[in-house]
Amino acid sequence: MEINRLDHLVLTVKDVAHTCNFYRDVLGMEVVTFGNNRKALLFGHQKINLHEKGHEIDPKAASPTCGSGDLCFIANTPVEQVLEELQAKNIAVLEGGIVERTGATGKIRSVYFRDPDNNLLEVSNYIL
């Protein structure tokens, strides 16, 4: 077996509409409706499907829980500008600002913050 890429992942959330607004307004993702009025967040060639806690779609994770996600997004926007945008939107930034980490293919500079369900979000740029 050879895996090519991640197509989508699922987040379990308390309030789908609130989550959609956050990811659209803060991260610039596109909110799409599919299937039986389900919601997803589209970015690049991937998406995040949303399940409302208590109304998950089968099959599902064994223990779907709000706030258990830890996601890293690679941005085209310079991480300095990402930090400025988060601060302008009064989003609490963790770790004191921009930090160096290691991504899938090399070193990255990252900003950490949380979404409305307390999932940890990391927005990064690769160091060239």
User: Of 121, 10, 114, which Cα lies nearest the Cα of 55?
Assistant: 10
In this predicted structure, what is the pLDDT of residue 103? Answer: 97
Catalytic residues: 122
Q: Are 94 and 112 in contact (CB under 8 A)?
A: yes
Question: What is the full per-residue pLDDT of the chain (128 aa) written as tens digits?
Answer: 999 999 999 999 999 999 999 999 999 999 999 999 999 999 999 999 999 999 999 999 999 999 999 999 999 999 999 999 999 999 999 999 999 999 999 999 999 999 999 999 999 999 99
pTM of the model: 0.95
Residue 28: how many other CB atoms lie within 10 Å: 11
Q: Which domains does the chain have, with CATH numbers?
A: 8-126 (3.10.180.10)
Strands (E), 1-128: 8-13, 30-34, 38-43, 46-52, 70-74, 93-102, 107-114, 120-126
In this predicted structure, what is the pLDDT of residue 60? Answer: 96
In this predicted structure, what is the pLDDT of residue 118? Answer: 98
Parallel, antiparallel, or unpaired for β 120-126 and 70-74? parallel
22: tokens are: 């956050």
Residue 93: how many other CB atoms lie within 10 Å: 15
